[in-house]
Amino acid sequence: MLTTAIFPGRYVQGEGALAVLGEELARLGARGFAVLDPFAADTLKPEIEAGLAGKVVLASERFGGECSDEEIARLAETAKGSGAEVIAGIGGGKALDTAKAVAHSLGKPVAIVPTIASTDAPTSALSVIYTPDGAFKRYLILPHNPALVLVDTGVIARAPVRFLVAGMGDALSTWFEAEDCRIKRGANMTGRLGPMTAYALARLCYDTLLQFGVLAKAACAQQVVTPALEHIVEANTLLSGLGFESGGLAAAHAIHNGLTVLHETHAYWHGEKVAIGTLALLMLADRPPALIEEVFGFCESVGLPTTLAAIGLGGADDAALMRVAERACAEGETIWNEPHLVNPRRVVAALRAVDAEGARRAKALKLAA
């Protein structure tokens, strides 16, 4: 039996990490090309230039907003013309996925510098490709993980709290999906089974969220870096990335992909929709009531959505939810890694059950207050 785990080449995290950007990039090449999301382009350029310290020549281009085939082709053409030896992505998840895809198309190493901790995209050999209007299109499986992931937690702390919380929503799915893959003997992102290391890291991710999530949110609200914030940034970024990629995905991310077919969800972050997918996974997979209670409680404590209304679907009818479910159950989707009976009707039922329980708990909390 073959098991396979994959990891980024180098992971650097801490307050002020941008100060060593040039030192770290120089390991990969003397000339670089950076995909900058709007925040990085408008706010971080002085820090980026100071961190380069003359060690790397870095051209850059502003990211257009969607990780689409069209945007990847546009940026690859510009990067090729710059003579870049290394591609860097600086910004949020879609900008980072785009930079990874650009690097792949050019056969260059990629360095990833997230400015928010909203997804586990930074460490993975994966780009999620969307249509230009934001609907999920496909996964692009890459042959290599990023050569470098550099996370400045001082920058993360300055971002809106919602991003950190969304990252916790994405990370929340990690253990449940990896565990279902372990039980089903479902493939991870390499197409093989994961090793025990991956499942252990996935569990550590979940435990870290429960232990430090509330404290990290409070620190981020004050725009300060604390040990709790460092722990959650690592969970959202590294542990979640390693756990999903080498452990595997199942229903939560498939349901997220289904939710993207409804335009009403496009204003909500990936991790917010994954949180709903995780709660639906718990219902679909008949998890113990005490565990479902624990996960609902965690979501409420940090502000993750627990009802369909919280992701723009308060008025969704069964026909709309069936569209979600049919997309989630498409051939090749990760929902088939579930070790339980799966079909679109059961997915709709799970979403309705989540919505009802979330509404019931919200009402009870309001009455108790």
Calculate helix-pair angle for 161-184, 289-302, nearest 10 degrees.
160
Catalytic site residue 253? yes
Structural contact between residues 277 and 255, judged by C-beta atoms closer than 8 angstroms: yes
In one letter, which amino acid is 262? Answer: L
- Distances in whole angstroms, Cα of residue 12 to Cα of each of 5, 152, 316: 20, 8, 43
Q: How far apart are CA 288 and CA 309, in angstroms?
A: 25
Catalytic site residue 97? no
Q: Which of 104, 120, 270, 355 is catalytic?
A: 270
Q: How far apart are CA 292 and CA 174, in angstroms?
A: 15
Catalytic site residue 207? no
Helix (H, G, I), strand (E, B) or coil at 36: strand
Helix (H, G, I), strand (E, B) or coil at 3: strand
Match 């690097």 to its residue by tokens: 103
Q: How far apart are CA 216 and CA 228, in angstroms?
A: 5
Q: How far apart are CA 207 and CA 143, in angstroms?
A: 30
Q: Facing residues of 31 across strands? A: 57
The beta strand positions in the chain, using DSSP E, are 11-14, 31-36, 57-62, 86-91, 110-114, 126-130, 136-141, 148-152
Structural contact between residues 209 and 171, judged by C-beta atoms closer than 8 angstroms: yes
Q: How far apart are CA 235 and CA 206, in angstroms?
A: 8
DSSP-derived pairing of the beta strands 126-130 and 136-141: antiparallel
Total residue count of the chain as it appears in this document: 369
Q: Which of 120, 180, 253, 355 is catalytic?
A: 253
Catalytic site residue 144? no
The angle subtended at Cα 174 by Cα 88 and Cα 255, nearest 5°, is 95
Q: Which of 120, 170, 180, 355 is catalytic?
A: 170
Q: How far apart are CA 109 and CA 365, in angstroms?
A: 50
Residues in contact with 327: Cβ distance below 8 Å, sequence separation at least 6, in sequence order: 136, 257, 258, 260, 261, 333
Q: Which of 37, 104, 152, 256 is catalytic?
A: 256
Q: Which residues are catalytic?
A: 170, 253, 256, 270
